């Protein structure tokens, strides 16, 4: 016995040649309102235009099918595949969060009449007479865990002529990181109820079928989740196929009752399918006026009661309406979020009641606790923000909205959040090696051994890559505003990840940043930020310069010397350079072995990024090119760092001035 699966099948079945097939056709459904689909079983089209295959309301086994009404010519005369592609948006919403199924399938079949197919684990695709079943090709997404699939669930697989997979992978999508152009993997839950898009493409040159997934409204990931090479004979056997029907199939019922819905669908026989228009899809929209309508409905009825009772009832209703209306206003930002909302009970259990043994650290925002999510076993860090915290709702929502949509290997991943009474909680992936600050300045006993140079250099490049993503490569410009060592966390491989986006601000590319109150940490604040209160990419670069000097020198950006005098790290490194003629003399004395060229590059780059004039600082793309060795760092003298007049930049160091001038217009 195999277990039930959520199946997206491409069933390529054998039939005889017909003149009625539509040749070279394509179609698109941005919602199914007014469409003439061939429906059977429990399938229906809602007033909103959603193709509902199963409702999830039945305790008995049910099947639903929905097919495009006309057959399409799918195969060439030489039995080879055309370069067809399809994309569709689906959602799977279980009635029971622990048991869900059975599944849904995208089908290419010789007939739209699958009414005799079995329900349950067969997804409405297989009939009892399996001995006469034609060959087919399938792409499956498994969501049910039982002995039938040896405990596996949430898998995507490719199948040939059977529901047994020939290749499989956990559900998710792949994306390219900035460093080394590597592919990262982000898992997604197929039965989350969230609209999910699937792309299925056939490359007629390589005879490969590829499957790609992503959450709506993400762009199509650059790499498919799975690919598999097939020959026409693998699917077609010795028969001739000329036409087929395209559609969907699903089954549900019993303890696995689940709603399977299709929100949009595009198909092209001879090339890429047309993109779906998300604005036209019947996606769920937040209801903002429901509370007001309910109030207006009940107010006339209360007038007929006794005056005292009517007054009491009106006050009660009004209080409830105000409470719900306030919650509705807060829910506006929640509707934009990708991260999961956790219950306070789950987070309390994960952190042993926010016990002191789980405490990772404290700050002006509140406290951070280590925890383990019982459902998945995932280790998390929970930031607990109280109502008395200096980081209030504005910072809380900024951090969720920004971090919840970012995907980069050098940024801390936000998993979810919680609002409970006067508390706000953020849930992050836990970084097992803590903060970089504790390694540099020896704040914890486990970090007595300072980092070696190769680790420090990799951390610097990682943070630079993350900051470049924020400034240049995301859909909007994100100004972090608090780049510092204590906000850089270290994963299991000692890679640096930039976190704490509570002060971050964003704006469109090409737009000017808004003036705001000064925020950040002393020693990392650019002079113009203190003077004008305007955070820009250049102020982030200044903080990055102070940060990499801190990493290289092992000193804080601001402190006191032996005589109790204020010591600014940037100026101290410049003075060491002037006094000895060798900037590397400022390196952390705990580093007994390091690459001198890399160390000098980091120190010089830190000084250049910390230049008092914002226009003299390089942008993060140039910073990455310097760190990667793609461009040489311009030569400059210690005196160049003391310039406070922009007109003197060209006079002092033309090579640097030329570089920076090219930056100002093209960052």
Distance CA 134, CA 326 (A): 58
**Nearest-angstrom CA–CA distance, 254 and 259:** 12
C-alpha triplet 189, 158, 241: angle, nearest 5°: 130
Give the residue among 163, 155, 261 at the shortest CA–CA distance from 213: 155
Cα 243–chain centre separation: 39
3-state class (DSSP) for residue 353? coil
Give the residue from 272, 202, 277, 267 showing the smallest Cα distance to 70: 267
- What phi-psi label fits residue 253: left (phi over 0), alpha (psi between -120 and 50 degrees) or beta? left
| Cis omega (within 30 of 0) for bond into 102 | yes
Q: Which of 201, 482, 500, 540 is catalytic?
A: 482
Pairing type for strands 22-23 and 72-73 reads parallel
In the DSSP assignment, the letter for residue 666 is T
Using an 8 Å Cβ cutoff, are 163 and 2 in contact? yes
Nearest to 216 by CA among 194, 199, 200, 201: 194
Q: Are 67 and 110 within 8 A, CB to CB?
A: no
Q: Could you give the C-alpha distances from 16 to 19, 73, 270, in angstroms and in order? A: 10, 12, 21
Let me know if 449 is exposed, middle or buried by CB neighbors in 10 A (0-12, 13-18, 19+): exposed
Contact 489, 552 (CB under 8 A): no
Distances (CA, A) of 239 to 306, 535, 574, 594: 81, 68, 80, 68
In angstroms, rounded to a whole number, what is the distance separating the alpha carbons of residues 69 and 267? 13
CA pair distance 421, 406, nearest whole angstrom: 28
153 is a catalytic site residue: no
Report whether 383 belongs to an annotated binding site: yes
Asked whether 603 and 453 are in contact (CB, 8 A), the reply is no
Burial zone of 313 (CB within 10 Å; 0-12 exposed, 13-18 middle, 19+ buried): middle
Q: Residues annotated in the binding site, as ranges? A: 383
Q: Residues annotated in the binding site for ATP, as ranges? A: 383
Active site residues: 482
């Amino acid at each position: 016995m195999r277990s039930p699966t959520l199946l997206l099948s491409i069933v390529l079945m054998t039939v005889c040649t017909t003149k009625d097939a539509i040749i070279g056709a394509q179609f698109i459904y941005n919602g199914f309102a007014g469409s003439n689909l061939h429906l059977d079983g429990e399938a229906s089209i809602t007033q909103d235009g959603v193709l509902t295959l199963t409702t999830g309301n039945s305790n008995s086994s049910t099947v639903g099918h929905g097919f495009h009404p006309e057959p399409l010519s799918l195969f060439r005369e030489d039995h080879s595949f055309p370069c067809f592609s399809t994309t569709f948006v689906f959602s799977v919403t279980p009635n029971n969060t622990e048991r869900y199924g059975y599944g849904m399938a995208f089908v290419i079949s010789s007939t739209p009449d699958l009414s005799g197919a079995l329900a349950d684990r067969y997804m409405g695709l297989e009939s009892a007479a399996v001995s006469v079943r034609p060959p087919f090709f399938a792409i499956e997404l498994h969501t049910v865990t039982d002995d039938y699939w040896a405990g596996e669930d949430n898998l995507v697989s490719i199948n040939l002529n059977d529901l047994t997979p020939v290749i499989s992978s956990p559900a998710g999508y792949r994306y390219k990181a900035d460093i080394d152009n590597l592919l990262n993997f982000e898992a997604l839950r197929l039965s989350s109820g969230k609209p999910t898009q699937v792309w299925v493409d056939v490359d007629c040159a390589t005879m490969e079928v590829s499957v790609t997934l992503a959450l709506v409204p993400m762009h199509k990931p650059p790499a498919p989740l799975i690919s598999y090479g097939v020959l026409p004979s693998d699917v077609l056997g010795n028969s001739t196929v000329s036409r087929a029907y395209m559609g969907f199939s699903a089954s549900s019922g019993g303890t696995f009752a689940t709603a399977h819905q299709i929100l949009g669908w595009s198909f092209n026989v001879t090339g890429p399918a047309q993109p779906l228009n998300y604005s036209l899809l019947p996606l769920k929209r937040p209801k903002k006026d429901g509370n007001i309508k309910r109030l207006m409905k009940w107010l006339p009825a209360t007038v007929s009661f006794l005056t005292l009772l009517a007054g009491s009832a009106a006050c009660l209703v009004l209080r409830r309406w105000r409470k719900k209306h306030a919650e509705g206003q807060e829910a506006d930002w929640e509707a934009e979020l990708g991260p999961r909302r956790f219950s306070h009970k789950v987070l309390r259990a994960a952190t042993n009641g926010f016990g002191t043994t789980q405490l990772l650290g404290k700050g002006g925002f509140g406290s951070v606790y280590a925890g383990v999510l019982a459902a998945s076993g995932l280790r998390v860090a929970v930031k607990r923000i109280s109502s008395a915290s200096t980081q209030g709702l504005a910072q809380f929502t900024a951090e969720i909205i920004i971090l919840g949509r970012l995907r980069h290997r050098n940024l801390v991943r936000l998993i979810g959040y919680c609002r409970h009474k006067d508390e706000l909680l953020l849930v992050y992936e836990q970084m097992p090696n803590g903060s970089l600050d504790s390694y540099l300045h020896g704040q914890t006993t486990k970090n007595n051994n300072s980092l070696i140079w190769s680790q420090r250099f990799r951390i610097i490049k990682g943070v630079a890559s993350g900051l470049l993503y924020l400034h240049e490569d995301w859909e909007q410009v994100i100004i972090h505003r608090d780049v510092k060592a204590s906000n850089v966390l270290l994963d299991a491989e000692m890679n640096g990840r930039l976190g704490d986006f509570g002060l971050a601000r964003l704006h469109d590319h090409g737009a000017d940043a808004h003036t705001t109150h000064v925020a950040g940490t002393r020693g990392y604040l650019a002079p113009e930020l203190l003077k004008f209160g305007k955070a820009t990419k250049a102020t982030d670069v200044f903080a990055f310069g102070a940060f990499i000097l801190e990493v290289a020198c092992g000193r804080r950006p601001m402190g006191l010397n032996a005589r109790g005098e204020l010591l600014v790290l940037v100026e101290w490194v410049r003075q060491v350079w002037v006094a000895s003629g060798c900037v590397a003399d400022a390196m952390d004395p705990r580093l007994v072995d390091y690459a001198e060229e890399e160390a000098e590059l980091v120190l010089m780059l830190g000084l250049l990024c910390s230049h008092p004039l914002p226009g003299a600082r390089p942008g993060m793309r140039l910073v990455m090119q310097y760190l990667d060795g793609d461009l040489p760092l311009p030569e400059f003298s210690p005196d160049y760092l003391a310039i406070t007049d922009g007109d003197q930049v060209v006079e002092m160091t033309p090579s640097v001035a030329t570089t920076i001038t090219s930056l100002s217009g093209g960052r």
